[in-house]
Amino acid sequence: MIQLTPLDKTVAGQELIQMGRLEGRLEGRMEGIEKGEIIGKIHLAQSPKELRAILKKLETELKAW
């Protein structure tokens, strides 16, 4: 009976796995950038009063650390 070498045990298989990981990281970064831009636009659209309240809350939380 012929036994095949598992894909992850071959040089070509390891290269394919590495390429998939790199592509996944790139896709994740791009998604993160898009979400960050959306969050920035939301913050920009908020009123100064809301932003001051958020800042105060964050400063309080930071002091608690």
Instruction: With respect to residue 5, please indicate whether it lies within any of the assigned structural domains.
Output: no
Contacts of 57 (CB under 8 A, 6+ apart): none
Task: Specify the pLDDT at position 48.
Answer: 85
Determine, yes or no, domain membership for 3: no
pLDDT tens, 9-56?
999 999 999 999 999 999 999 999 999 998 888 878 778 888 888 889
Q: Could you tell me if 26 and 32 are in contact, meaning their C-beta atoms sit under 8 angstroms apart?
A: no
Residue 4 belongs to some domain of the structure: no
Tokens of 12: 């070509």
Q: Is residue 1 included in any domain, yes or no?
A: no
Cα separation, 51 vs 33, in Å, equals 22
Contact 43, 51 (CB under 8 A): yes
Predicted TM-score (pTM) of the model is: 0.54
Count up the domains in the chain and report the number.
1
**Is the model's pLDDT at 62 over the cut of 90?**
no
- Output the pLDDT for position 28: 96
What is the pLDDT, as a whole number, of residue 55? Answer: 85
Return d(Cα 30, Cα 25) in angstroms, integer.
9
